[in-house]
Structure 1
Amino acid sequence: MAARPADRPPPGRAERRRLPLAAAPGAVARSREFTRGALRAWGWLPGADARTRTAAEDVLLMTGELVTNACQHAAGPYALELTRHGPLLRVEVRDADARPPALRLHREPARPGGHGLLVVDRLSAAWGSEPVAGGGKTVWLEVVRPPAEP
């Protein structure tokens, strides 16, 4: 199954944060804390309304899934990049393996694991992967911040 395509980002200035991960232990935990800090700085946490807090928790879960996949299937990630462009948040995880991720729709229910991309597919607005010049790939997802509750 192909990844869902992304819409064009909204006009305006983008804000980026990058975390190098090469040869660093605890990549998943470090990535989640880095993402939590960015979400806090960008107003998604902690004082946001319930829908935004839920979306932020989904972002933390999905970031962990992308980094875990890079650890399990690509000998580890080497960078995490977060880009905020208005209400659009893009999470990118880069690794050195050129093979694109594969969404497993038919898996053995009794076996653990294999749900990461399914979670990303269901919770993100869009996701996919792109080759990186010189080898490797970027696996990305996008989430749109929900409008404030009335």
Structure 2
Amino acid sequence: MAEQTRRLVLGGATTGVVGRCRDFTRRALADWQWPAETEAVEDVLLLVSEVITNACLHGGGPRELVLRHTRERLRVEVSDDSPDPPRRRPPGDRALPGGHGLIVLERLSSGWGWEPAGDGRPGKTVWLEVSGQDARRSCP
């Protein structure tokens, strides 16, 4: 199967963007025949929520969400305007609630990372991948 791509341009919005991205992702997964209401779908929606929330809190708002799907994997990419790489909060830092997003990425994805924005644009893209096998394992 050739790669299928869905792109949602967000332009740095922060209000209501997590729900919008979850709905966009849920529709794409349904179109790609991931079994609805399975653990694999819920994991992907949680991962999308985490990377979008991080872009809102630390990147000035997400610029765009891109989903790339093949039989082997789903790749989620979130771009923002901050050049700062994602980093874990230091242990014991309780100044703000939360701080578990990268731990969630490490545990639920098959891999994640980031890269500077291309074409001379400011910012970065944070990406994560989920094995396509995860969706098939969740089938009843």
Fold-level similarity (TM above 0.5): yes
- Between the aligned partners of 1:99 and 1:43, the Cα distance in structure 2 is 36
TM-score normalised over the length of structure 2? 0.86
Q: Which residue of 2 aligns with 1:33?
A: 23
Displacement of 1:58? 0.4
Q: Which residue of 1 aligns with 2:61?
A: 76
Q: Percent identity?
A: 49
Asked whether the equivalents of residues 107 and 114 of structure 1 are also in contact (C-alpha less than 8 Å), the reply is: no
Superposed CA RMSD in Å reads 2.0
3-state DSSP class of the match of 1:114? coil
| Residues 1-150 of structure 1 mapped to structure 2, 5 A cutoff | 12-24=1-13, 25-46=15-36, 53-104=38-89, 106-108=91-93, 112-133=97-118, 134-145=121-132, 146=134, 147-148=136-137
Letter in 2 for 1:68: T
3-state DSSP class of the match of 2:64? strand
Letter in 2 for 1:85: T
Letter in 1 for 2:18: V
> How many corresponding residue pairs?
134
3-state DSSP class of the match of 1:106? coil
Structure 1 residue ranges without an equivalent (≥5): 1-11, 48-52
- Between the aligned partners of 1:95 and 1:34, the Cα distance in structure 2 is 18
Letter in 2 for 1:75: G
Q: Which residue of 2 aligns with 1:9?
A: none
Structure 2 residue ranges without an equivalent (≥5): none
3-state DSSP class of the match of 1:92? strand
Asked whether the equivalents of residues 12 and 80 of structure 2 are also in contact (C-alpha less than 8 Å), the reply is: no
TM-score normalised over the length of structure 1? 0.81
Displacement of 1:62? 0.6
